[in-house]
């Protein structure tokens, strides 16, 4: 697989995070973390397990409240949004949760309809089937509508979760460890799929991963989360050539 690159500097940020702080009791998780996600780019966020990546992404979509800092999503200061305003904004953000997080008791079709029901304004009742079908087609699983998640392989579950994340045609997709727990071949398929989706839907994506192969293939830019802050930012080529031992440790 080839490395991709372009110049995202000219583009406008769709997410801007400034000096985000979050602690749980005595434990400081985020300590003045800042980053920007530019329109159309694939930004990879790497960090050790337990370093606060999921906490950061949850703050971004209003599932968790930071102690301080600024979070701007598509021009909205999300810490000032009212409940219903945040809900509307969430329709613009696809979220692939760590480990797929499908509803076990729902069929694939029902899982995909879930975000449509939550955002009724976007849902044309007559159109639901078409949206479900389009999303399933995007992940190559048109035949699975009536199946339960338990009947699917791990890779297929991840694809369905991806279909659910993009069914509202979001401007931004947040991927929390999209390849973790998958075998290398399935992981590669998911990465290719993410790249196809990027092409098709022109989304801006933040990808949390510690899969170096995934980062190499998919990132336009990378950011390393270390000691609660944005320790290093650059392209894969730049960061993987770094002499800083702390940065080097990520690429072993």
Ligand X SMILES: Nc1ncnc2c1ncn2[C@@H]1O[C@H](COP(=O)(O)OP(=O)(O)O)[C@@H](O)[C@H]1O
Binding site for ligand X (CB under 6 A): 24, 29, 47, 49-55
Q: Which does 29 bind (CB under 5 to 8 A by kind): ligand X, Mg ion, none?
A: ligand X
Give min distance, CB of 189 to Mg ion, in A: 22
Q: Nearest residue by C-beta to Mg ion?
A: 54
Q: How many CB atoms lie within 10 A of CB 37?
A: 25
CA separation for the pair 98, 221 (Å, rounded): 21
Q: CB-wise, 30 or 132, nearer to ligand X?
A: 30
Q: Which does 47 bind (CB under 5 to 8 A by kind): ligand X, Mg ion, none?
A: ligand X
Kindly indicate which of the ranges 25-33, 45-53, 79-87, 139-147 contains the residues binding Mg ion, using the contact rule CB under 5 A: 45-53
Q: Which does 52 bind (CB under 5 to 8 A by kind): Mg ion, ligand X, none?
A: ligand X
Question: CB pairs under 8 A, 24+ apart, for 153-157?
Answer: 153/186, 154/100, 154/181, 154/182, 154/186, 155/182, 155/183, 155/186, 155/189, 155/190, 157/100, 157/102
Contact between 51 and Mg ion by CB under 5 A: the answer reads no
- Cα 196 to the center of its chain, rounded Å: 15
Helical axes 184-201 vs 128-138, angle rounded to 10°: 130
Residue among 54, 100, 205, 220 that touches Mg ion (CB under 5 A): 54
* Residue ranges binding Mg ion (CB under 5 A): 53-54
């Amino acid at each position: 697989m080839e490395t991709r690159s372009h110049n995202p500097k000219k583009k406008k940020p769709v997410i801007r995070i400034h000096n985000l702080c979050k602690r749980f009791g005595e434990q400081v998780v985020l300590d003045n973390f800042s980053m920007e996600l530019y329109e159309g780019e694939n930004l990879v966020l790497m960090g050790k397990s337990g370093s606060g990546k999921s906490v950061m992404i949850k703050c971004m979509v209003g599932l968790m409240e930071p102690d301080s800092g600024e979070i701007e999503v598509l021009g909205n200061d999300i810490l000032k949004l009212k409940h219903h305003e945040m809900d509307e904004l969430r329709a613009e953000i696809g979220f692939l949760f760590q480990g797929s997080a499908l509803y076990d008791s729902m069929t694939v079709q029902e899982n995909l309809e879930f975000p449509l029901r939550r955002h009724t304004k976007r849902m044309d009742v007559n159109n639901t089937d078409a949206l479900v079908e389009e999303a399933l087609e995007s992940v190559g699983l048109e035949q699975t509508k009536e199946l339960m998640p338990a009947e699917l392989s791990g890779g297929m579950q991840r694809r369905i979760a991806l279909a659910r994340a993009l069914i509202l045609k979001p401007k931004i997709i947040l991927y929390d460890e999209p390849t973790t727990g998958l075998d290398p071949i399935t992981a590669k398929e998911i990465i290719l799929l993410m790249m196809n989706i990027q092409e098709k839907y022109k989304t801006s994506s933040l990808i949390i991963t510690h899969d170096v192969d995934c980062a190499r293939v998919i990132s336009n830019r990378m950011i390393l989360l270390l000691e609660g802050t944005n320790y290093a930012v650059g392209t894969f080529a730049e960061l993987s050539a770094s002499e800083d031992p702390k940065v080097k440790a990520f690429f072993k």
